[in-house]
Amino acid sequence: MTDDDFDAGGNGDRDGNASDVSGPGNSDAVSDPADQLLVLPTDLRSELKEPLGPIETDPDALLAEVDDTLIAVGDVVTYHLLEADRRPDVALVDERTERETVDEEIREAVTESTNLEAVNPPAEITEDAVWALCEALERREPTTIRVDGEEDLLALPAIVAAPDGASVVYGQPGEGMVHVRVTDEIRDDIRDLLDRFDGDRERFWTLLE
């Protein structure tokens, strides 16, 4: 599983680069220890490099398969969906790609309608981020969450919290966009995965559910 870097040709970002969530990035964000819920263990990093759903390189083709709520994780994925005239119902962005600052065009496009903010350091899932995600899903209008840190791992709680039939989209390095259609089966798979994280899992599930 990775963040949002791709282009319509499936070659990563505009420079052909892409990043993943298999290790900590370079963000300076630091969570309050009381806010930290889950931490990605080392033995899961390689497993999270595998896509959780089919990969699509064409935003229009992907959107043709979207029937319900659309959640975008990452700046470049969000940008390409906006360029295809579809504003995600929930977008999670951190103004970075390949752990470098996104260019100004992308940053302005994806943060124009920022509604919520959350702190979520690399390789963590924080209470702040879970609260923001749940709040966004309850709203009746498109909501953008600007994350101070990294948004990559937030695709996982998004899949669990999203309604049946929703689409969660994130990027796969050098390949395109991963489209996860939310079903009971994929939700159970992600629950099992999250239960292997370190941290306060009981608190995490209480907040998310």
pTM of the full predicted structure?
A: 0.84
Q: Given this model, what pLDDT does residue 29 score?
A: 53
Q: Given this model, what pLDDT does residue 18 score?
A: 32
- State what percent of residues in the chain have pLDDT above 90: 69
Mind listing the pLDDT tens digit for each residue in 147-176? 999 999 999 999 999 999 999 999 887 899
- 44-48, 85-89, 111-115: least confidently modelled range: 111-115
Per the annotation, does 130 bind a ligand?
no
- Parse the chain into domains and list their residue ranges: 36-208
Which pairing describes strands 176-181 and 55-56: parallel, antiparallel, or unpaired?
antiparallel
Query: Which of 73, 81, 135, 137 has the alpha carbon at shortest distance from 109?
Result: 81
Per the annotation, does 5 bind a ligand?
no
Per the annotation, does 150 bind a ligand?
no
Per the annotation, does 102 bind a ligand?
no
- The pair of three-digit structure tokens given for residue 52, joined into one six-digit string: 């959780």
How far are the Cα atoms of 4, 42, 60 from residue 57, in angstroms, in the given order? Answer: 12, 30, 9
pLDDT of 192 > 60? The answer is yes
pLDDT of 25 > 90? The answer is no
- 30-39, 100-109, 157-166: least confidently modelled range: 30-39
Per the annotation, does 75 bind a ligand?
yes
Other residues' Cβ atoms within 10 Å of the Cβ of residue 99? 17
Q: Which of 143 and 105 is assigned the larger pLDDT?
A: 143
Q: Given this model, what pLDDT does residue 73 score?
A: 97
Q: Is 57:175 a contact under the CB 8 Å cutoff?
A: yes
116 φ, ψ to 5°? -135, 155
Helix (H) or strand (E) holding 143: strand 143-149
CA–CA separation, 179 vs 12, rounded Å? 16
Other residues' Cβ atoms within 10 Å of the Cβ of residue 131? 15
